[in-house]
Amino acid sequence: MSENNTTDKKVVESRSESAPDSLFSKDRLYTVIFGTNTPAGKLFDLVLICSIFISVVIVIIDSVSSASASYGTLLIALEWLFTILFTIEYGLRIYCSPNRLGYARSFYGIIDLLAILPTYLSLFFGSGTYLIVIRLLRVLRIFRILKLIRYLQEANLLLRAIIASRRKVMVFFATVFVLAVIFGSLMFVIEGPENGFTSIPMSIYWTIVTITTVGYGDITPHTTAGQVLASLVMLTGYSIIAVPTGILTAEINHEMVLDRERIVCSNCHTSGHERNAKFCRNCGVSLEIT
């Protein structure tokens, strides 16, 4: 998706150089809606993100029964307003996109469609309780905001560290899951249905609640053997919590060292400068000019 994005931007740039004359041309619209490096494009993105935020807040407020009772009509009106705005936006995106099917099939294209569908569907099927399930997908639209932070160097560093450690973390989670099954089964046998451990799945749920140190207390061991095993589960959870931390810390540390290596002096080619360094630590030449 990142590559696709880069080509998009190139297209935007080449276009905006050649044909910035017509005000509402396809190209100009494309630059504003899809681009992020013109003032109009930035403004459009900001307004859109705010609209998404407000529409999500409306869904959240609507779920509060007292608010829904008092301001029900207003909330429905606002929901329709945003649905129509998002529909126009979706239409414009389809219209101005050079590769229409490509956009419609892309991740954000599908999310954009799914974000407006439920309100229209509620016309035909009534605003039933189950329909909220689909309406909820609009919340996923927040992820479009993450596009912004994609440009933040920090988020990139974190992402690289997480990607580099994904296999180790998967090995870790497989182990946690196996442990949860074994401990859960043992607890089911030891404690039994009379103490709330009604089935092995329920016991596995309890084990995950315990091993992650969440500890709701909705199900707790009552027999001595159960409490001894529970203590073992807790201490296991307490110690293996260290594993993902260790993996990620090592990766982040390594990425930060690499980051510093990347700042190279244009004069003497010395690397390893601090991120906020302004002058080469070897020859004193300004690093900013580079």
Q: Which of positions 164-183 make contact with a copy of itself (CB under 8 A)?
A: 167-169, 171-176, 178, 181-182
Give whichever of 64 and 101 is closer to a copy of itself, judged by the CB atom: 64
* Closest C-alpha to 218, from 235, 206, 230: 206
In angstroms, rounded to a whole number, what is the distance separating the alpha carbons of residues 106 and 239?
A: 42
- Contacts of a copy of itself in 61-100 (CB under 8 A): 63-65
The neighbouring-strand residues paired with 258 are none
Interface residue with a copy of itself, options 244, 264, 272, 287 (CB under 8 A)? 244
- How many CB atoms within 10 Å of residue 158? 16
Site size for a copy of itself (CB under 8 A): 86
Give 232's contacts (C-beta < 8 A, 6+ positions apart).
183
Give whichever of 93 and 138 is closer to a copy of itself, judged by the CB atom: 138
Residue reference for tokens 């993450």? 146
Interface residue with a copy of itself, options 70, 143, 283, 284 (CB under 8 A)? 143
Residue 98 DSSP class: S
Q: How far is the CB of 141 from a copy of itself (least distance, A)?
A: 10
233 neighbors 207 (Cβ within 8 angstroms): yes
- Contacts of a copy of itself in 213-242 (CB under 8 A): 213-218, 220, 224, 227-228, 230-231, 234-235, 237-239, 241-242
Q: How far is the CB of 39 from a copy of itself (least distance, A)?
A: 25
Does position 270 interact with a copy of itself (CB under 8 A)? The reply is: no
In angstroms, rounded to a whole number, what is the distance separating the alpha carbons of residues 260 and 266?
A: 15
Q: How far is the CB of 254 from a copy of itself (least distance, A)?
A: 7
Per-residue x/- mask for a copy of itself, residues 104 to 133, rule CB under 8 A? -------------------------x--xx
Give whichever of 7 and 65 is closer to a copy of itself, judged by the CB atom: 65
The window from 14-22, 44-52, 90-98, 147-155 that contacts a copy of itself (CB under 8 A) reads 147-155
Q: How far is the CB of 155 from a copy of itself (least distance, A)?
A: 5
- For 100, half-sphere exposure in the C-beta direction (CA atoms, 13 angstrom radius) is 7
* Closest C-alpha to 17, from 38, 3, 33: 38
Give whichever of 181 and 287 is closer to a copy of itself, judged by the CB atom: 181
* Closest C-alpha to 206, from 240, 170, 174, 222: 222
Report the SS3 class of residue 200: helix
The neighbouring-strand residues paired with 286 are 279
Give whichever of 87 and 220 is closer to a copy of itself, judged by the CB atom: 220
